[in-house]
């Protein structure tokens, strides 16, 4: 009732607000500022794709105006094993994401649903691992993996990728789980579901959107990870995309066309995956749970 | 919280074990190893022999080294403080602009948000790559245009000139990291209750008063969380400085993350590198404690 009584004046006020005249100076300034902002944000990305279709030679000097387009750069990176790097990245990140997300779902379910001793320390530990500078891990990990002869082993890298994405995956997932009322679990347990069945058949389907967002974010983090990959993979044929991209920077000369094509190929999957989940991530982010 | 009997404790343990077992194995061992190495003179070339125990020598050497002080200053001031402040202030201002009445009326809100998504989705390594090309001294767009329009006679090597290197690196970081602030703050601004503005309008409040007493207090928690997270990520970041300048020219733009790498893999001094790493992790821990106390406990306090 109150809603109906309150609404009409509110609508009227808003309407008046919308039709209020802004001075032409202000309007022009807002348009100019918007155009500048859009240019600042978008132009480097547009430039990657534009330049990736230009002959390498035309990227040097001011000859970029001529409208010559070519697939030469893409052919070039393809010849230089980029397909291989892409396959390696897909293989490593794909498997790691599945493991990381499943393990995270289990842990976060228990963290959000059950009371047990020392839970505070577990959360504290998660935070610690989230803020830890990865660069510090590089040498110890390299030595550790070298001892067990695990350098140039994709499974070693997968283990790393699972663990580096676990803390914030759990954190993010606990947040999504909190939005699901615990009455659901209680009702299911009352009806004779086992504890695992309750999680698997009652909660998991409802958590699906959160799982998709978390998995996507983990995937993107692994997809662009550079440090661990460079420490653990030295054989060219085993390298991942970010390492492949770095390979195109020569010591003296840089083939910008090839670099741009490689950048375009690295960014495209990230863009396509990122756009559908971004609003969900923003929600999780204001809760302080995403790793950048 | 669900209740459970004693014999059902193994369900809880079983669910937690894989996650915490793996993370502990991954983080604890290297951390301990790192601290242990920081008290030795271990060299990358003498891994087999191991290092000699030198006590606190590595740490003492660091604190007496003026170059190292500069590295710490670069990390805390240029890389972290300047780049984070710029992102927070600009990001919040742009969010206010995007969500303003005028921009809404002009229907520019959606295009602006879409444009802001692009840098966010760009991997940091790609961001550095494309900006390196834009800034390039011989072939870069900026130099070409400045020369063409007659502002300069000689191209500027932005990433190789001490007077331009930090502004250039910070530009790259801001481009890549500004959108996350803009979009999150824009979302936070939408949650400010409309009736508060209406009440302020009735009271005849000026727009500055409305901002200071309604908008700002509501946006502050989100801004604080973002500020903290951005600080931690930037402090820890190796890619931005390493890929854009390799800590150069010389070691002019050297930061803690690149110093850890340089000492270990260029100078082969693993002991010293471990000491720097331990110091860096201890500094990051300070942010971690703040983050835990003010963000995590607040958000998940009910669960603990």
A117's CB contacts (< 8 A; 6+ apart) are none
Considering only CA atoms, which of B33, B46, B40 is closest in space to residue B58? B40
CB contact under 8 A, B281 and A133: yes
- Say which residue, B7 or B34, is predicted with more confidence: B34
Residue A60: its pLDDT value, please? Answer: 64
Set of chain B residues whose Cβ sits within 8 Å of the Cβ of A246: 125, 243
Set of chain A residues whose Cβ sits within 8 Å of the Cβ of B20: 107, 122, 125
**DSSP structural state of residue B2:** B
Residue B7: its pLDDT value, please? Answer: 67
Residue A251: its pLDDT value, please? Answer: 61
Tell me the pLDDT tens digit for each residue of A190-222: 898 888 898 999 999 999 988 998 999 899 899
Question: By mean pLDDT, which of A159-168, A254-263, B106-115, B236-245 is the weakest?
Answer: A254-263
Domain regions of chain A by residue span: 2-52, 80-285
Spell out a b/e string for A63-72, using b for 16 or more CB atoms within 10 Å of the CB, else e. ebeeeeeeee
Tell me the pLDDT tens digit for each residue of B49-83: 888 899 899 999 999 999 999 999 999 999 999 99
* SS3 state of residue B41: coil
Burial of B33 (0-12, 13-18, 19+ CB in 10 A): middle
Sign of the four-CA dihedral B8, B14, B15, B20: positive
Q: How crowded is residue B157: how many other Cβ atoms within 10 Å of its Cβ? A: 17
Is B170 an 8 Å CB contact of chain A? no
> Residue B17 and residue B2: Cα distance in Å, rounded?
19
pLDDT confidence bin for B225, thresholds 50/70/90:
confident
Q: What is the mean pLDDT of chain B?
A: 90
- Say which residue, A17 or B188, is predicted with more confidence: B188
Q: Does the pLDDT value for residue B109 go beyond 60? A: yes
Q: Does the pLDDT value for residue B260 go beyond 90? A: yes
Q: Taking phi first (over 0 means left), then psi (-120 to 50 degrees means alpha), and beta for anything else, what does residue A109 get?
A: alpha
**DSSP structural state of residue B79:** I
Q: Does the pLDDT value for residue B246 go beyond 60? A: yes
CATH architecture of B76-246: Orthogonal Bundle (1.10)
Residue written as tokens 């995270």? A104
Question: By mean pLDDT, which of A122-126, A133-137, A219-223, B292-296 is the weakest?
Answer: B292-296
CA atoms within 13 A on the CB side of A67: 0
Q: Which two tokens stand for residue B232?
A: 């931690």
Average pLDDT over residues B142-149: 87
Residue B90: its pLDDT value, please? Answer: 97
Q: Taking chain A, what is the end-to-end CA distance rounded to the nearest angstrom?
A: 46
Q: What are phi and psi of B43, to 5 degrees?
A: -120, 150
Tell me the pLDDT tens digit for each residue of A102-117: 999 999 999 998 888 8
Residue B115: its pLDDT value, please? Answer: 94
Is A170 an 8 Å CB contact of chain B? yes
Residue A11: its pLDDT value, please? Answer: 44
CB contacts under 8 A, B 126-145 vs A, are 126-127, 129-131, 133-134, 138-139, 141, 144
Set of chain A residues whose Cβ sits within 8 Å of the Cβ of B243: 246
pLDDT confidence bin for A157, thresholds 50/70/90:
very high
Residue B283: its pLDDT value, please? Answer: 93
Q: What is the largest CA-CA distance in chain A?
A: 75
Count how many pairs of residues, chain A against chain B, have C-beta atoms within 8 Å: 298
Q: Does the pLDDT value for residue A63 go beyond 70? A: no
Average pLDDT over residues B167-193: 92
Q: Taking phi first (over 0 means left), then psi (-120 to 50 degrees means alpha), and beta for anything else, what does residue A61 get?
A: left
Q: How far is CA A177 from CA A171, A261, A276, B164, in A?
A: 10, 41, 20, 47
Range list of H helices, chain B: 9-37, 57-63, 66-73, 83-98, 101-105, 109-121, 124-135, 141-148, 162-190, 194-202, 207-210, 216-236, 239-245, 256-265, 270-291, 297-300
CATH number of A80-285: 1.10.3720.10
Q: Which two tokens stand for residue B82?
A: 């300047």
pLDDT confidence bin for A258, thresholds 50/70/90:
confident
User: Looking at chain B, which residue has its C-alpha nearest residue A176?
Assistant: B300
Set of chain A residues whose Cβ sits within 8 Å of the Cβ of B100: 30
> Residue A271 and residue B123: Cα distance in Å, rounded?
9
A162 touches A99 (CB < 8 A)? yes
Question: By mean pLDDT, which of A268-282, B11-25, B27-41, B269-283 is the weakest?
Answer: A268-282
- Say which residue, A64 or A77, is predicted with more confidence: A77
Q: Does the pLDDT value for residue A263 go beyond 80? A: yes
Average pLDDT over residues B31-56: 88
Q: Quickly list DSSP for B107-170.
A: T-HHHHHHHHHHHHHS-HHHHHHHHHHHH-TTT-HHHHHHHHTTS-SS---GGG-HHHHHHHHH
Measured at the CA of B116, the angle between CA B112 and CA B120, to 5 degrees, comes to 170
Q: Quickly list DSSP for chain A.
A: -HHHHHHHHHHHHHHHHHHPPPPHHHHHHHHHHHHHHHHHHHHHHHHHHHHHTS-GGGGSTTGGGS----SHHHHHHIIIIIHHHHHHHHHHHHHHHHHHHHHHHHHHHHHHHB--TTHHHHHHHHHHHHHS-THHHHHHHHHHHHHTT-TT-HHHHHHHHHHHHHHHHHHHHHHHHHTS-THHHHHHHHTT--HHHIIIIIIHHHHHHHHHHHHHHHHHHHHT--HHHHHH--SGGG--HHHHHHHTB-SS-B-HHHHHHHHHHHHHHHHHHHHHHHHHHHHHHTTT----
Tell me the pLDDT tens digit for each residue of A37-46: 999 999 999 9
Q: Which two tokens stand for residue A141?
A: 């990990």
Range ranked top by mean pLDDT from A56-70, B64-78, B202-216: B64-78
Set of chain B residues whose Cβ sits within 8 Å of the Cβ of A96: none
Residue B148: its pLDDT value, please? Answer: 85
Residue B75: its pLDDT value, please? Answer: 96
As for the ipTM of the complex, it is 0.90
Q: What is the mean pLDDT of chain A?
A: 84
Could you tell me how many residues make up chain A?
292
Which among B13, B14, B16 is the top mutation candidate for probing chain A, defined by the most A β-carbons within 10 Å of its own β-carbon? B16
Considering only CA atoms, which of B79, B100, B236, B107 is closest in space to residue B169? B79
pLDDT confidence bin for A3, thresholds 50/70/90:
very low
Question: What percent of chain B stands above pLDDT 70?
Answer: 99
- Say which residue, A279 or A21, is predicted with more confidence: A279
Residue A16: its pLDDT value, please? Answer: 46
Could you tell me how many residues make up chain B?
304
Residue A20: its pLDDT value, please? Answer: 58
pLDDT confidence bin for A66, thresholds 50/70/90:
low
- Cα A191 to its chain centre, rounded Å, is 39
* SS3 state of residue B202: helix
Q: What are phi and psi of B269, to 5 degrees?
A: -90, 85
Burial of A15 (0-12, 13-18, 19+ CB in 10 A): exposed
Residue written as tokens 């500022």? A33
> Residue B302 and residue B304: Cα distance in Å, rounded?
6
Average pLDDT over residues A50-55: 88
């Amino acid at each position: 009732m109150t809603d109906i009584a309150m609404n009409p004046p509110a609508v009227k006020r808003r309407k008046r607000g919308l039709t209020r005249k802004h001075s032409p100076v202000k309007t022009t300034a807002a348009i100019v500022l918007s155009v500048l902002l859009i240019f600042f944000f978008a132009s480097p990305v547009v430039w990657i794709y534009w330049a990736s279709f230009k002959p390498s030679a035309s990227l040097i000097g001011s000859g970029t105006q001529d409208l010559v387009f070519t697939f030469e750069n893409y052919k070039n990176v393809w010849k230089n094993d980029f397909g291989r790097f892409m396959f390696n990245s897909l293989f490593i990140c794909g498997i790691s994401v599945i493991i990381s997300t499943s393990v995270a779902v289990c842990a976060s379910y228990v963290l959000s649903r059950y009371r047990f001793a020392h839970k505070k320390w577990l959360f504290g530990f998660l935070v610690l691992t989230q803020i830890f500078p990865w660069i510090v891990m590089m040498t110890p990990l390299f030595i550790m993996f070298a001892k067990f002869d695990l350098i140039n082993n994709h499974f070693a890298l997968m283990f790393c990728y699972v663990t580096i994405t676990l803390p914030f995956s759990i954190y993010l997932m606990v947040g999504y789980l909190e939005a699901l009322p615990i009455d659901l679990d209680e009702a299911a347990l009352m009806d004779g579901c086992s504890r695992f069945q309750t999680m698997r058949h009652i909660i998991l389907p409802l958590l699906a959107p959160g799982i998709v967002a978390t998995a996507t974010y983990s995937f993107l983090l692994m997809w662009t990870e550079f440090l661990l990959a460079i420490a653990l993979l030295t054989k060219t044929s085993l390298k991942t995309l970010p390492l492949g991209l770095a390979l195109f920077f020569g010591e003296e000369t840089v083939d910008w066309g090839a670099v741009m094509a490689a950048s375009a190929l690295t960014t495209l999957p990230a863009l396509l995956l990122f756009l559908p989940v971004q609003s969900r991530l923003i929600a999780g982010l204001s809760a302080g749970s995403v790793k950048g | 919280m669900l209740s459970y009997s004693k014999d059902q404790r193994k369900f809880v343990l079983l669910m937690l074990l894989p996650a915490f077992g793996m993370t502990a194995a991954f983080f604890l061992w290297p951390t301990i190893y790192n601290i242990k190495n920081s008290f030795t003179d271990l060299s990358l070339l003498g891994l087999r022999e191991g290092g000699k125990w030198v006590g606190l020598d590595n740490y003492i050497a660091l604190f007496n080294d003026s170059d190292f002080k500069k590295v710490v200053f670069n990390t805390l001031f240029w890389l972290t403080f300047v780049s984070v402040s710029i992102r927070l202030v600009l990001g919040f201002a742009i969010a206010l602009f995007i969500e303003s009445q005028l921009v809404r009326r002009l229907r520019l809100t959606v295009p602006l948000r879409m444009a802001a998504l692009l840098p966010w989705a760009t991997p940091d390594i790609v961001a550095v790559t494309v900006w390196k090309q834009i800034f390039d001294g011989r072939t870069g767009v900026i130099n070409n245009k400045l020369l063409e329009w007659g502002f300069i006679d000689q191209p500027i090597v932005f990433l190789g000139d001490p007077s331009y290197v930090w502004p250039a690196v910070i530009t790259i970081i801001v481009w890549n990291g500004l959108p996350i602030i803009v979009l999150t703050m824009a979302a936070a601004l939408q949650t400010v209750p409309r009736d508060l503005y209406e009440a302020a309008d009735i009271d005849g409040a000026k727009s500055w008063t409305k901002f200071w007493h309604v908008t700002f207090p509501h946006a502050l928690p989100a801004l604080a969380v973002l500020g903290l997270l951005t600080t931690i990520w930037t402090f820890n970041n190796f890619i931005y400085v390493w890929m854009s300048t390799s800590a150069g020219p010389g070691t002019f733009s050297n930061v803690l993350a690149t110093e850890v790498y340089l000492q270990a893999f260029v100078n082969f001094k693993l002991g010293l590198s471990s000491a720097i790493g331990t110091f860096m992790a201890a500094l990051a821990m300070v942010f971690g404690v703040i983050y835990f106390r003010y963000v995590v406990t607040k958000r998940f306090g009910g669960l603990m």
